[in-house]
Amino acid sequence: LKEINLIEMSSKERNDAMNEVRLLSMLDHKNIISYYDSFILNGSLNIVMEYANAGDIHLEIKKRTLQNKTFSEFEILSWFTQICEAIQFIFTKNILHRDLKTQNIFLSIVDGNYYIKIGDFGIAKIL
């Protein structure tokens, strides 16, 4: 669940938040955070979406750096391929993410394997 306080936002920020809901509802791909529902309660937009149980790539890089561990070639190739597949799908919908960074590329672990999930479409744009 992502909760966004609409009351303290500018009209542009509110539009970006509503845009994220609209875009997420259009995107159904294994490497994009799944959208389930949204509602407004007490001035906050609540977006019900898939939970990435392993955080984001940014945190994983920090964690491995602190542990003096590296990423295997297989992991890097697998993650890169999954990111490319998600971006290609987004482009087929004529959407630009516009904020693709390690903090917006999430990780889910299923049966011991990492899966990429792109999220945070708040400033994305439909062409």
Domains of the chain as residue ranges with CATH: 2-126 (1.10.510.10)
Q: pLDDT of 53-94, one tens digit each?
A: 999 999 999 999 999 999 999 999 999 999 999 999 999 999
For 27, other C-beta atoms within 10 Å of its C-beta total 18
Share of the chain above pLDDT 90, in %: 98
Kindly report, residue by residue over 41-53, the tens digit of the pLDDT: 999 999 999 999 9
Q: In this predicted structure, what is the pLDDT of residue 33?
A: 97
Per-residue model confidence (pLDDT) at position 36: 98
Mean pLDDT of 17-41: 96
How many CB atoms are located within 10 Å of the residue 10 CB?
Answer: 8
Q: What is the pLDDT of residue 53?
A: 97
Buried/exposed code over 57-94 (b: 16+ C-beta within 10 A; e: otherwise): beebeeeeeeeeeeeeeeeeebbeebbebbbebbeeee
Is 99 an active-site residue? yes
Catalytic residue from among 16, 56, 99, 120:
99
DSSP state of 32: B
- Rounded-to-integer distance, Cα 45 and Cα 90, Å: 24
Residue type, 116: I
pLDDT of residue 117: 98
Closest among 39, 59, 43, 48 to 105, alpha carbons compared: 59
Mean pLDDT of 17-27: 94
Cα 36 from Cα 41, distance rounded (Å): 16
pLDDT at residue 3, rounded to an integer: 95
